[in-house]
Amino acid sequence: MVRDITLTEALDLQQRQSYTLVDVRSPKEYQEATIPGSLNIPIFNDEERAEVGTLYKQVGKQAAKDRGLEIFSQKLPSFIEAFKQIDTPITIFCWRGGMRSKTAVTVLDLMGIHANRISGGIHTYRQHVVQCLEEPFIPQLIVLNGYTGSGKTRILHKLMEDGFPVIDLEGMAGHRGSIFGQIGVKPNNQKKFEILLAEKLVQYANERYVFIEGESKRIGHVHMPQAIYEKKEQSPQWIIQLPTEVRVEEIISEYEPWKRPAQFLEAFQHIQKRIHHPIAAQIKSDLETGQFAEAIEQLLIHYYDPQYEYSVARFAMSGEHVIQAKTVQEAYGECVNRYKELVK
């Protein structure tokens, strides 16, 4: 017998660590977006799902059902065995709480493995995410700004390690927010980005202040939800200011350009026309010969700094918002001190 529960009930059971959520959709669907913390035990792999879907469209529902049953029956032993490895009660979901999750729950029940099913599937979770991204759910933010290479990402990661509330937008997007930002990282799609963001907003619902980086509306392949963007723009802006040579070292440490020199050259081609020709030619030459420090310094001076000058100057008009430091570690310490003063 299929036992349906609501999304709220499922999340509550998961939070109390008394239930395991299992996504029975295909691996590709699972990778694109799922409920955080869920396992993936798919009824169909990506190719099988595509085959059944094509049959449904071109032949009809019954033909798709018959083929789906034929495929699934061949993998029943391994499917059942995967669920036997779970040592907690189970809640299953698919896209809309339809055929796949119903089939899974029914088969498991016949084998003596009892499981609930989320009514409405992950589609209801998507609605939950959209609600969480509205203004009433967004806490007060502290926005870290500064020129490229100011150590903002490293400071945020250190704050997270030390237990401070942080929303890492670049980490959620899988992109560092610059023309070179996709190098060495795996980008997320909009749905997965919003799911990760909503999860953090729920986690920090009772925090007085949450740290966030001063990103633009677009971060790589994803867009910041409008309510988050507006709240960020209206929140206190802390401007990290570091010496240029420290910023160069920070960028080299983060990107490790010697590991992917061809990708850096390819990315540079997208912006070289925006830089005065002799300087652009020198930057290209430096990248080709592995003179990364020289190339990055020229990129900062002639491309990135002019781009950010207006926005940084706008927030830095009041000196009380500026964190002038000689090192990233020093800037981190000042962020912690200011935060502690705020929450007294």
Active site (catalytic) residues? 94
* Secondary structure (3-state) at 306: helix
> What is the C-alpha separation between 73 and 110, in angstroms, rounded?
14
Q: How do strand 20-23 and strand 39-40 relate by DSSP bridges?
A: parallel
Helix, strand, coil tally for the chain in percent (to 5): 55, 10, 30
Hey, which bits of the chain come out as E strands?
3-5, 20-23, 39-40, 90-93, 115-118, 141-146, 166-167, 210-213, 218-219, 222-223, 237-241, 322-324
**106: its two tokens:** 């029914």
Phi (first) and psi of residue 209, to 5 degrees: -140, 145
Query: Which residues touch 191 (CB under 8 Å, ≥6 apart)?
Result: 32, 33, 126
